[in-house]
Amino acid sequence: MAKSATMTLRKSASALSESARGEVAEALGASLADGLDLYSQIKVAHWNIKGSQFIALHELFDRFGVSVTGHNDTIAERLVTLGGFAHGTVRESARASKLSEYPEGAVRDLELVKVLAARFEQSLDRLRKGRDLAEEKGDTDTHDMLTVVITEYEKHSWFLLATLDA
In tens, the pLDDT along 23-71 reads: 999 999 999 999 999 999 999 999 999 999 999 999 999 999 999 999 9
Which pLDDT score is estimated for 3?
47
Q: Which helix (H) or strand (E) holds 3?
A: strand 2-3
- Taking a C-beta distance cutoff of 8 angstroms, is the pair 148, 75 a contact? no
Q: Which residues contact 81 (CB under 8 A, 6 or more apart)?
A: 12, 13, 14
Which residue, 113, 114, 154, is CA-closest to 131?
154
Q: Which residues on neighbouring strands pair with residue 3, listed in sequence order?
A: 8
Give the CATH number of domain 16-164; options: 1.50.10.20, 1.10.10.10, 1.20.1260.10, 3.20.20.70. Answer: 1.20.1260.10
This prediction has a pTM of 0.94
- What gap in Å lies between CA 133 and CA 64, rounded to an integer? 26
Per-residue pLDDT, averaged over 78-82, amounts to 97
